[in-house]
Structure 1
Amino acid sequence: MNADPYRLANVPGLTRVENTDLQQLMARCAELTRPAYPHQQVYGRYCTIQEYVDCPPELAYEYLRQGHHLEEWTFSLRDFAPTGTPGLWAGDDRLEEKTRIYCKVVANAEAMTVDFHCSWDQSDKLWMVYLMRVVPAQLVFDKPGSVITWTNCRHPYYDRNPYPDLSPRADRPWVGDYWDLFYAGHTVEMANLKAILEHRHQRGLPVSSSPRATVTR
């Protein structure tokens, strides 16, 4: 007798070899595979991009985990300086005039993950979380270099500004207004990241740069 201690047979909607044959699986996969997909369906709740970079993963991770490099590869984050809170930095997001952005880097060297916890206007709740991971390309592509992934989840605050009174002006657009452009915008920034890492590595230059002199804000 095949015991089912977790009673999976009672869980509705599971597709497993126990209840689905190969032909049924192929038919289901065909239903889920389309020649084109609506943007909202693909990027409505999550935005994930990835890129191969001809740079050793250890160097790519070391570069990403140092938050001051955001000023190099992002389109608009500039002038970061440490705040009075350990690990928290403040800078300007020049995407919108007079917009302050706060950022804390949470990194794990063993997994080579680098998460940027950010927010506009205030630092009490860092709700804009950019999840990045460096994967050795040797592991997945059987060649030197890195694969870098980057995921954003659509936090409810993207749809409404929870701190409208902190906006520098009443007519300033909200960061969530740009959500439909996240895939395109992050692709541009990933291309910047790739270009910087490959340019320095291929020329034998130090991949990471020293942080500029900053003044605590």
Structure 2
Amino acid sequence: MSLPALDDITAPLDGLVRIETSPRERATPIIMEMMRSVYPHDQVFGEYCTVNDYVDCPPDDLFGWLADTRSLEEWTYSLRGFTPTDDAGLWLAYDRLGSDTEIYTRTVANREARTVDYHCAWDQGRHLWMIYLMRVVDAQLVLDKPGSVVLWTNCHHPFYDENPYPETAPPQRPVWVGDFWDMFGAGHLLELRNLKAIAEYRHRNGLPVTPAWMS
């Protein structure tokens, strides 16, 4: 007996594709159209930027490292000089991509789900609107082998298009973080490869994944 799925919706929904209304013969052309050999960059990275990779490192160890904001000092391309602020849990660093721009970061982590979300913003720490969403998955569950899978997504917040706090920006800086959005996919993949290389080296050589200087 079927469950009463969607019984509350009486009008047809545009874009809804279910076998009850779109049998395989109708759905197959739709799926084939979605499987293009070439995708426009904006279609892939316009609103969301997602990169993923396998890391040969135990998931709990990897999570513990990433959950410490200071790990960004090690695996990111340009965030350097993390120091705590007077606001507990909020860190100040410099994003050298923006000519030594101040960047503020607060990490929100959930050990049970192994999610690590970095809430960041250039220039000011009152509104952390740049959110980097990461999850560490046990590779034994999804790939049937030891290690971790890292899932990382960014959403195109409207503030990437225009600085909401221009009065906090250094007058000599010629760029805004949103100017680099088209490069986020490649840039984040580069950083994820950094993360992978560091974590795998430490695990392979019997070193703590979270280094002593972060203790």
Query: 1-side partners of 2:12 and 2:37: how far apart?
Result: 35
Instruction: Give the percent of matched residue pairs that are identical in Structure 1 and Structure 2.
Output: 52
Query: 2-side partners of 1:182 and 1:201: how far apart?
Result: 28
Match in the other structure for 1:134 = 136
Alignment TM-score, normalising by the size of structure 2? 0.94
Letter in 1 for 2:193: A
SS in 2 for 1:114: strand
Query: 2-side partners of 1:208 and 1:146: how far apart?
Result: 15
Which runs of 5 or more structure 1 residues have no equivalent in the other structure? none
Match in the other structure for 2:185 = 183
Alpha-carbon displacement from aligned partner over 1:156-192 (angstroms, at most 9, x marks no partner): 0000011112111244200000000001111111011
Q: Which of 150, 162, 184 is 2:164 aligned to?
A: 162
Q: Which of 170, 194, 198 is 1:196 aligned to?
A: 198
SS in 1 for 2:38: coil
Contact 1:69–1:209 under 8 Å retained in 2: no
Q: Per the alignment, do residues 48 and 74 of structure 1 end up closer, same or farther by CA in structure 2, a change over 3 Å counting?
A: same
Match in the other structure for 1:121 = 123
User: Shift of residue 8 of structure 1?
Assistant: 5.2
Q: Per the alignment, do residues 109 and 8 of structure 1 end up closer, same or farther by CA in structure 2, a change over 3 Å counting?
A: farther
Query: 1-side partners of 2:214 and 2:57: how far apart?
Result: 24
Contact 1:113–1:134 under 8 Å retained in 2: yes
In the TM superposition, structure 1's runs of 4+ consecutive aligned residues that sit over 4 Å from their partners are none
Q: Say what the alpha-carbon RMSD is for the aligned residues.
A: 1.8
Match in the other structure for 2:176 = 174
Contact 2:49–2:153 under 8 Å retained in 1: yes
Q: Which of 63, 66, 70 is 1:68 aligned to?
A: 70
Q: How does 1:98-113 map to 2 (within 5 A)?
A: 98-113=100-115
Structure 2 residue 160 is the aligned partner of structure 1 residue 148: no
SS in 1 for 2:16: coil
Deviates more, 1:13-22 or 1:198-207: 13-22
SS in 1 for 2:97: coil
